[in-house]
A and B are shown apart, each in its own frame.
Chain A
């Protein structure tokens, strides 16, 4: 059981928008920065979002992030079949002094 809670599975049709939630507490999301990672089967995770809502160079603006209180959300608009992957949220947890991640959410398009 991870410190951060994500839905195990989300699905939507091509072209639609989907959101993935990540819930934590005041020791992690509430007072630290959230990042999101995309992972295709058999490959390494890739940074999608940092600083709650910033996209690294090369990440399409179809991907967005937000944070409110002790929860964060990843949004993916204009869904493509190529977006099918596992998505993880992560942040620093000040109580356990450790990086923590959610269990991941599998996106089906």
Chain B
């Protein structure tokens, strides 16, 4: 059974870089040619916001509306993928989820991690 698990620091200072990792178990990222790996966040009391999606090859697409620069990467050797947000502000405080969606958007986001809370504060 596919499982995703986020990890990373729970507290980041303003203007610094937020780095999170999603570990994948139950499936191989490098073999999952039909799927994108996704980061989504949810600010306190608010809705869901797509951050970006990355393919096993490393090709990524990011939300153009995000204020903080975003980088995503894939580590197929360790079966995980990562997110970096630079120059964060308090507005980046949120629960961050990793998830998966099929290359065909018809199938939605079918598997989610449990989420990790990140607070941006000095």
Contact = CB atoms under 8 A, between A and B. Distances in A.
A90 interface: yes
B61 A97 contact: yes
Interface stretch (A11-19, A38-46, A68-76): A38-46
A101 B50 contact: yes
B interface secondary structure, majority: mixed
Interface residues of A, number: 27
Assign chain B's interface to a size class.
20 to 34
B75 interface: no
Given A44-B97, A44-B115, A98-B65, A50 B46 contact: no
Contacts of B49: 101
B106 A47 contact: no
A63 interface: no
Contacts of B97: 44-45
B47 A88 contact: yes
Contact of A46 (B65, B112, B113): B112
Kindly list the 5 A-B residue pairs having the minimum CB-CB distance in the complex, ordered from nearest.
Answer: A35-B108, A99-B50, A50-B108, A33-B106, A44-B112
